[in-house]
Structure 1
Amino acid sequence: MSSFYSRLLNILFLNLFSVPVFAQNLEALVERGEELYNSDVGCWVCHAESGEGLVGPSLHFGPTPADVFDQLESNPVMGVIVSEMNPTDDDLVAISMYIRTLADLPLDAQLPQQWLEALAVVRDNQAEELDFAKTPRDLQIEAIETFASLQETWTRRSKEGSVWSEYPSRVVATFDPGEPKFQPEPGKTYFYENIGTTSSPSVLFDGYVPPTRNGLVVGDAETMEVIASYHLPENLRSVVHTSAMSPDGRYAYIVGPREPTADGSPDPAGSWTMIKLDAITLQPVSQITIGGRLHHGQVFRDKVLFDLFVRDPDGLGLFLFDPETDEVIGGIKDIDMGGFIYTVWTDKDYEYIYALMEPAGYAPGRATGMRSAIDLYQGRLMAVRPFWIAKINPETWEVEAEYPVPGYRPNWAVIDNAKEFIYPVMSSSIASKMNINTGEVIWTNGTGIGPYGAALTADETELWIADKGEAAHHLGRTITIIDTESGHAVETLYASYKADHVLLSPNGKEMWSTSNGEGRIYVYDVETRELLKVIEMPGNGDAHGLIWVHYDENGEPRTVRDQGNFHGGINPAEGAILDY
C-alpha cells in the first residue's frame, strides 16, 4: 500500500506543481529562445527578425519543436543550424516559444511539457541511419571533398621573391585625334563606355545587324543620356572586354588588334596592341603593343593596371601602364605565379593587388579556367583543381599570401572599405566573403546562374551581383542582391541578357549594369531597387565596363570611378560622393 500511496503522491505533485513551475519559467524560456533565434546562425537569417520570412517562409503559424526538428532532419538548407548551433530539445522548446511571441500566439504554460513529450515520440520513430558500402573511388573523394581539407593542405604556387618582369612596349602607330565631339562643362560628371561588335542578335530585335567597328561612347551621368560617340576604323577592330581611363580623365583605352603591317592591316605574327583615345574627340591617338589582348583595366595610383586574355610568348598576365610615357612599365608573368592570372583587383588605397588565379591544363593557355567551368556545367568534369587568390605587394612585387577560394573560377572580387574582407564571385554560381588577410571564409552562398561582376552598396550592407550566365549558357538576365552580414540573398532583380558588370555610381545612389548581349546599360535605384533607365548604346554595340569622369569648377577632369574602384577623392563608403 505504501508503494501505491507513494506513486499517487507523485502524480498529485506533478499535477499540482508542474504547471506553476513552467509558468514561473516561461519568461526565462522566451528570453532563451530570443537569444537562440537571433544568434549569428539563428532563425532570423532566413525568416527575418520578425519571423515574417525572407528567403525562408513565415513562421507566424507557430511551428512546434517537433516541426522544427523535422526541418532540421530533412531540410539541407538548415544544416548550418545543426552544425553550428546543434540545438537540444530544450533549445527547440525555447525557440518555438519565442516564435509564438512574434506571432502574438498565446503562451500556454503546459506547452513546454507537451512539446518535450512529442519530441521524444518523434525521436523514437526516426528511421535508422543506413550504412552503405564505399568504393575505392568514394574513399579517394571523401579524403579531399571538404574545403577545409584544401585549406589545411594548401601549398604555395607562386615563386618566392619578386615576381616582377618587364615588357618592351612600342608605339606602332599615331593618329590625328580630330575635333572635339562634345564640350565638357565645369562641375559636370560624364560616363564613358567602350562598345564592341559582338552583341547577341537572338536577344535583340528582328533584323538586327551588329556594328562592324568598335566605339567609344560618352554620356551625361546625371541625365543618363548619350552625348556623343565615335566608331574606330575597321582595321582597329578587336573583341572589346573593358573600358579604361587614365587617372587624369584625358585618355581612354580600348582593345586593339595585332600590330599593323605596312598597309595598316593587322599582322598575324605581330604583337597584340591597345588603342589610346582622346576623351574629348573620342578618336584614336596612338596604338601601343602590350603583349596580349586586353581584358580589364583600372586606375592604380598614377598608373593604369591591366590584365590580359591571350598572351604573346613574351607577354605578361598583368601589367602597369604609364599614361604619361605610353609605356608598359612591367608586370607579372603567369609562370612565376604557378598558374594563370585571370583578373586583378585592388583596395581603395592601392596597398595590394589581388590576382584571381586559375590552374593550368584544362585548355591551351589562358582558356583553362573557362574551359574547366564549362566542362563542369556540361558534366564532362566532376571536379577540377583549386582556384585561388594571390595577394601581391606592389612595392616589392612579392606574393605575400595565397588562399584557395570555395567553388570554381572566380571572375570578380570586391574589397570592402576597411580592407578587412574580399568578396570573390565564382562562375560556379556562388559568392563568398573572406577575410582578406587570412583567407578564412566567413560565408559562401548561391547567386544566379554564372555570375560575373559585383559591387557593394555605399553602406556595404549589400553585394549586387550580375548573373551573366558565364560558362553556363551566357544568357543570364538577373541581378542577385546578397546581405553581406548573413550571406543570404534578399532580392533577385530582372536585368539584361548577359548582365556582365555592375558598378555603384559616384553619387552612391545608383547601380549601373552593362549588357554584353543587348548593348545597353541598365540603371537601378539602390534604395528602391527600381529600374530607372535603360541606356541604348549606338548600334547596340556590346557594352563592357564603365568609367565616370568628373570636371571640377575649373574644368579640370579626373577619373572618379572605374571597374576597379573609386578614385580622385570620391568614396561613397566614406560619404565622399558627387552630388548630382
Structure 2
Amino acid sequence: MRRRALLLSTPLLLLARPAAADLVYVLNSGDSSILVLDAVSRQELRRIPALREVHHLVMSPDGKDLLIADSGGNEILFLDPVTGEVRRRERISNPYHLDFSPDGRHLVVCSLRRNQVDIYDAGNLALLGRLRMPEKPSHMAFRPDGKVVYVTLQGSGTVGAVSLETREVLWEAPVGREPAGIVWHRGKLIVGVMGADYFAVMNPETKAIERQIPLGRGAHTVFIQPDGKALWATSRVQSRLAEIDPSTLDVRRVIDLPGGPDCIAFDPDGRLWVTLRWAGRIARVDPATGEFETIRVGRSPHGIFVQPRRAES
C-alpha cells in the first residue's frame, strides 16, 4: 500500500489561508495543545495552548462553537470553528468525553478520572445532575429520542444507561474488559472492547451481547460515515482501520494503519482523517483505494475534527 509522510512547515502566526480550504483540528493530549491545519496545504496554521490535557471535542447544536474538553485543566474551550479563535473558556470538572443530546437540550460530560457523569443544561451550562459511576466513565452514545445516554465504564467492564429526564442510572450490564467507544446503530449499541480484540453488539432492551465483530487487539471506537453507507472502526494495539457493512455488521475490509489509530473525522469529500495516537501523526485515508498519507502533528493526538470550507460567494 502506498503511503507517504509529510513534515509540516514552520507554523504561521496568523490563520491566513485560502477561503476554500477545510480546517483540521487535532487535539494533542501529550502536548496540551490544539493544532489547526490547512487541509489542502497540510500546513500548520495555528497551535492553541491548552492548560493540560485535551482529549475530545464536539460541535454545538447551532454549529457556532467547537467545544474542546481539557480534562486535566478542568475546562472547556469554546472556539470559532471557522477561524480557530478562542471565544471563551468555562470551568468544568474533569471533562474527558462530551456530547450533546440529539434534542440539543443537554450536554453530557464523562469524567474518566473522577468516576462521574455530569449532565448540564446545554443553554447555560448549569449543572443539572452528577452521577457517581463505577468505574472510569469513558465514551457515550444517545438513544435517538434524547432521553437516555449510554456510557462505557472502562474500569468495571460494563455499559451504564442513564435517564436524562430523571437523571438516574437505569441499568448497568457487562460488555467486556475495558470498553471504550460506543455508538447507537439501528437499535443496537456497538461497543469497542479495548481489553480484547472485538466490538460487541449489545441489545439495549435485553442487555444481551448478540454478537462480536472481530477486528484486532485494542478494539477501540467506531464512527458512522456521514452518508450512512459504512461504519469505520479502529484497533489501537493492532493498528487497524476497518470498514464495516452497516446492514450485516460484517467487516468489508481492513486497512493496516501503523501508529495506533484512534479517533476519526470525515471531510466533505468523504476522506477519513485519523489520529495515530502512538506515532504523533494523523493519517488522511482515501476510502476508495485504502491509500493513506501521514502528517506529523504533536504528541499523543486524540480527538480530531474537520471544519468544511466556507462556501464561495
TM-score by length of 1: 0.41
Are the counterparts in 2 of residues 346 and 564 from structure 1 also a CA contact under 8 Å?
Answer: no
SS in 1 for 2:267: strand
Measured after TM superposition, the shift of residue 440 of structure 1 is: 3.5
Deviation at 1:254, TM superposition (A): 1.7
Within the candidate set 95, 101, 122, 1:347 is matched to: 101
- RMSD between superposed Cα atoms in Å: 3.2
Give the alignment of 1:433-444 within 5 angstroms.
433-444=161-172
Provide the rounded CA distance (Å) in 2 between the counterparts of 1:349 and 1:251.
27
More helix per residue? 1
Structure 1 residue 523 corresponds to structure 2 residue 281: no
- Is 1:545 the counterpart of 2:307? The answer is no
What does 1:558-577 correspond to in 2, within 5 Å? Answer: none
Indicate whether 1:333 and 2:51 are aligned: no
Deviation of residue 429 (structure 1)?
0.5
Structure 1 residue 410 and structure 2 residue 128: aligned? no
Deviation per CA, 1:541-575, whole angstroms, max 9, x where unpaired?
221211122259xxxxxxxxxx899x99xxxxxxx
Map 1:141-160 onto structure 2 (within 5 A). Answer: none
Contact 2:78 2:87 in 1 (8 A): yes
Alpha-carbon deviation of 1:319?
2.0
1:425 matched to 2:152? The reply is yes
Match of 2:80 in 1: 322
Q: 1:276 aligns with which of 36, 47, 54?
A: 36
Q: What is the identity, as a one-letter code, of the residue corresponding to 1:253?
A: Y
**Residue type of the partner of 1:400?**
L
Deviation at 1:421, TM superposition (A): 0.9
Flag structure 1 segments of 5+ consecutive residues without an equivalent: 1-224, 237-247, 260-271, 359-367, 370-386, 470-475, 553-562, 569-580
Q: 1:401 to 1:256 in 2, by over 3 A?
A: closer
Q: Counterparts in 2 of 1:125-164, with a 5 A limit?
A: none
For residues 504 and 481 of structure 1, do their structure 2 counterparts lie closer, same or farther at Cα, with a shift above 3 Å needed?
A: same
Identity of aligned residues (%): 17
Contact 1:230–1:282 (8 Å) recurs in 2: no
Q: 1:438-475, CA deviations, whole angstroms, 9 ceiling, x for partnerless residues?
A: 13433321112101001111x3x110000012xxxxxx
Give the corresponding residue for 2:128: 400
Alignment-derived partner of residue 9 in structure 1? none
Asked whether the 8 Å contact 2:203–2:209 carries over to 1, the reply is: yes
CA distance in 1, matches of 2:214, 2:29: 35
The Cα shift of 1:430 comes to 0.3
The structure with more strand, counted as a fraction of residues? 2
Change (3 A) 1:250 1:309: same
Aligned equivalents of 1:536, 1:234: Cα separation in 2: 27
Letter of the 1:488 counterpart: A
Aligned-residue offset at 1:489:
0.9
CA distance, structure 1, for counterparts of residue 21 and residue 130 of structure 2: 34
Question: In the alignment, which residue of structure 1 is the partner of 2:284?
Answer: none
Question: Which residue of 2 is the match for residue 66 of structure 1?
Answer: none
- Pair 1:250-2:22 in alignment: yes
Amino acid at match of 2:68: F
Q: In 2, Cα distance between the equivalents of 1:529 and 1:257?
A: 32
The verdict on how the C-alpha distance between 1:530 and 1:392 changes in structure 2, with shifts beyond 3 A counting, is same
How far apart, in 1, do the equivalents of 2:68 and 2:130 lie? 20
CA 1:282–1:354: 2 relative to 1, 3 Å: same
Check whether the contact 2:26–2:304 (CA below 8 A) recurs between aligned residues: no
Q: Which has the greater radius of gyration?
A: 1
Q: How much has 1:330 moved relative to structure 2?
A: 2.5
Q: Does 1:308 align with 2:70?
A: yes
Give the CA deviation at 1:432.
2.0
Give 1:231's aligned amino acid: L
Q: Deviations over 1:10-52 (max 9, x none)?
A: xxxxxxxxxxxxxxxxxxxxxxxxxxxxxxxxxxxxxxxxxxx
Query: Structure 2: how far apart are the matches of 1:320 and 1:275?
Result: 15
Local SS of the residue matching 2:53: strand
Report the equivalent of 1:534.
Answer: 254
Q: CA deviation at 1:326?
A: 2.3
Q: Which residue of 2 aligns with 1:231?
A: 6
2-structure distance, mates of 1:400, 1:249: 39
Moved more, 394-403 or 250-259: 250-259
The CA deviation at 1:233 is 4.7
Aligned length: 264
Q: In structure 2, do the counterparts of structure 1 residues 285 and 299 end up closer, same or farther at CA, with 3 Å as the change threshold?
A: same
The offset of 1:515, in angstroms, is 2.1
Point out which structure has higher relative CO (alpha carbons under 8 A, 6+ apart): 2
Structure 2 gaps of 5+ residues are: 12-19, 271-302, 309-313
| Residue number in structure 1 paired with 2:180 | 452
- What is the TM-score of this pair, normalised by structure 2? 0.74
Secondary structure at the aligned position of 2:82 is classed as coil
CA distance in 2, matches of 1:253, 1:551: 17
Secondary structure of the corresponding residue to residue 392 of structure 1: strand
> Is 1:467 matched with 2:193?
yes
User: Would the aligned equivalents of 2:33 and 2:49 in 1 still touch at CA under 8 Å?
Assistant: yes
2:293 corresponds to 1:293 = no
- How far, CA to CA, are the matches of 2:226 and 2:30 in structure 1? 35
Cα separation, partners in 2 of 1:421 and 1:255, compared to 1, 3 Å: closer
User: Cα–Cα, structure 1 residues 441 and 289, in superposed 2: closer, same or farther, change >3 Å?
Assistant: closer
- Against the structure 1 CA distance between its residues 249 and 434, is the aligned structure 2 distance closer, same or farther, given a 3 Å change threshold? farther
Q: Which residue of the partner structure matches residue 571 of structure 1?
A: none
- CA distance change for structure 1 residues 447 and 249 in 2, over 3 Å: closer, same or farther? farther
Equivalent residue, structure 1, for 2:15: none
Amino acid in the other structure paired with 2:127: V
8 Å contact 2:152–2:179 — kept in the other structure? yes
Counterpart residue type for residue 262 of structure 2: H
Tell whether the 8 Å contact from 2:199 to 2:215 is kept in structure 1 after alignment: yes
Q: What do the CA deviations read for 1:34-75 (whole angstroms, capped 9, x no partner)?
A: xxxxxxxxxxxxxxxxxxxxxxxxxxxxxxxxxxxxxxxxxx
Q: For residue 46 of structure 2, give the secondary structure of its aligned residue in structure 1.
A: strand
Task: Provide the C-alpha distance between the structure 2 equivalents of 1:523 and 1:514, rounded to a whole number of angstroms.
Answer: 9
